[in-house]
Amino acid sequence: MKFIDLKEFAKFDPNKPHRELLYDSPNLRVLSFNFEPGQELPVHCHESDSDVTLMVLEGEGEFLGTHAMPARAGTLQVMPVCDPHGLKATTRLRLLVFITPTL
């Protein structure tokens, strides 16, 4: 069992999104991404049978890719990891990414 205090991972970099691996096992990977306005996670996909969940903790932006939609605190985007996906921040934004099972 692991407890994670997400406040400890609220780090930002003015030059690129800040990324940290919070948890990794064969069944689940959890990543934290923090974006300054205008930064983005480019649209990409992975050849795998895994699923990915993008969860916005705070801020606003846009989910990019096959299923583009507004991204704001409390919204989730859930899809197969082989679907194109990404995110662009319009404000300072914190994102959790869950991949199951891991790639």
- Summarize pLDDT for 31-67 with one digit per residue, the tens: 999 999 999 999 999 998 999 999 999 999 999 998 7
pLDDT tens for 92-103 read 999 999 999 987
At 6 the three-state DSSP class reads helix
Distance CA 17, CA 97 (A): 13
Q: In the predicted model, what is the mean pLDDT of the chain?
A: 95
CATH architecture group of domain 17-100: Sandwich (2.60)
Angle at 40 between CA 20 and CA 4, to 5 degrees: 25
What is the band of 73 on the pLDDT scale with cuts at 50, 70, 90?
very high
pTM for the full model? 0.93
Distance CA 11, CA 1 (A): 24
Domain range summary for the chain, segments of one domain joined by +: 17-100
Query: Are β-strands 69-72 and 76-80 bridged in parallel, bridged antiparallel, or unpaired?
Result: unpaired
